[in-house]
Chain A
Amino acid sequence: MFSQFFSYVLQGTLTTVEVTLVALPFGLVLGLLVALLQIYGGPILSRIAAIYSTGMRGVPPIVLLFILFFVISGSISLDAFWAGSLALGIVTSAYQAEILRGAILSVGAGQMVAARAIGMSRLKAVQHIILPQAVRLAIPPWSNEASIVLKDSSLVYALGVPEILSRAQQASAATQQPFLAYGTAALIYFVLVFTTNRLLDLLSHRMRIPSNP
Chain B
Amino acid sequence: MNQPILVAKGLTKQYGKNVIFHDIDLEVAERDTIVIIGPSGTGKSTLLRCFNLLTRPEQGQIWLDGEEITAKGAKEDHVRERIGMVFQNFLLFNHLTALNNVLIGLTQVKRMTKEAARAKAMEELQRVGLADRAGHYPGQLSGGQQQRVAIARALAMDPRVMLFDEPTSALDPELIGEVLNVMKQLAHEGMTMLVVTHEMGFAMEVANRIIFMEKGSIVEQGSPEDMYYHPQHERTREFLHKITELHGKTQRKE
Residues of A within 8 A of B (CB): 110-111, 113-121, 124, 128-129, 132-133, 136, 209-212
CB distance from A47 to the nearest CB of B (A): 22
CB distance from A135 to the nearest CB of B (A): 9
Please, how many angstroms separate the alpha-carbon atoms of A209 and B100 in the complex?
A: 13
Contacts of B138 in A (CB 8 A): 211
Which residue in A111, A118, A129 is a CB contact (below 8 Å) of B80? A118
Beyond A119-B82, A209-B95, 5 extra complex contacts between A and B, CB < 8 Å: A117-B54, A117-B154, A119-B105, A133-B95, A212-B140
Contacts of A133 in B (CB 8 A): 93-95
The reply to whether B77 and A120 contact each other, CB–CB distance below 8 Å, is yes
B87 within 8 Å of A (CB atoms): yes
The reply to whether A128 and B77 contact each other, CB–CB distance below 8 Å, is no
The reply to whether B139 and A211 contact each other, CB–CB distance below 8 Å, is yes
Which residue in A113, A119, A121, A209 is a CB contact (below 8 Å) of B137? A209
Please, how many angstroms separate the alpha-carbon atoms of A1 and B92 in the complex?
A: 62
| Range of interface residues on B (Cβ < 8 Å) | 20 to 34
Main secondary structure, interface of A, reads helix
B108 within 8 Å of A (CB atoms): yes
Residues of B within 8 A of A (CB): 52, 54, 77-78, 80-82, 84-85, 87, 89, 91-95, 104-105, 108-109, 137-140, 153-154, 157
The reply to whether A119 and B91 contact each other, CB–CB distance below 8 Å, is no
Please, how many angstroms separate the alpha-carbon atoms of A196 and B81 in the complex?
A: 44
The reply to whether A209 and B54 contact each other, CB–CB distance below 8 Å, is no
The reply to whether A119 and B139 contact each other, CB–CB distance below 8 Å, is no
Please, how many angstroms separate the alpha-carbon atoms of A132 and B91 in the complex?
A: 16
Q: A119-B78, A209-B137 are in contact. Are A114 and B109 (CB under 8 A)?
A: no
The reply to whether B95 and A132 contact each other, CB–CB distance below 8 Å, is yes
In the complex, 30 of the A-B residue pairs with CB atoms within 8 angstroms, ordered by the A residue number, are: A110-B87, A110-B91, A111-B93, A114-B91, A114-B92, A114-B93, A115-B93, A116-B54, A117-B52, A117-B85, A118-B80, A118-B105, A118-B153, A118-B154, A118-B157, A119-B81, A120-B109, A128-B104, A129-B95, A129-B104, A133-B93, A133-B94, A209-B94, A209-B137, A209-B139, A210-B139, A210-B140, A211-B137, A211-B139, A212-B139
Contacts of A128 in B (CB 8 A): 104, 108
The reply to whether B89 and A110 contact each other, CB–CB distance below 8 Å, is yes
Question: Which 3 pairs across A and B sit closest by C-beta, in order of nearness?
Answer: A211-B139, A119-B81, A114-B91
The reply to whether A114 and B87 contact each other, CB–CB distance below 8 Å, is yes
Contacts of B108 in A (CB 8 A): 120, 124, 128
Contacts of B93 in A (CB 8 A): 111, 114-115, 129, 133
Q: A110-B89, A113-B54, A129-B93 are in contact. Are A118 and B137 (CB under 8 A)?
A: no
Nearest chain A residue, comparing its CB with the CB of B156:
A118
Please, how many angstroms separate the alpha-carbon atoms of A211 and B142 in the complex?
A: 11
Please, how many angstroms separate the alpha-carbon atoms of A128 and B95 in the complex?
A: 10
Contacts of B84 in A (CB 8 A): 117-118
Contacts of B91 in A (CB 8 A): 110-111, 113-114
Which residue in B80, B95, B140 is a CB contact (below 8 Å) of A119? B80
Nearest chain A residue, comparing its CB with the CB of B135:
A210
The reply to whether B137 and A210 contact each other, CB–CB distance below 8 Å, is yes
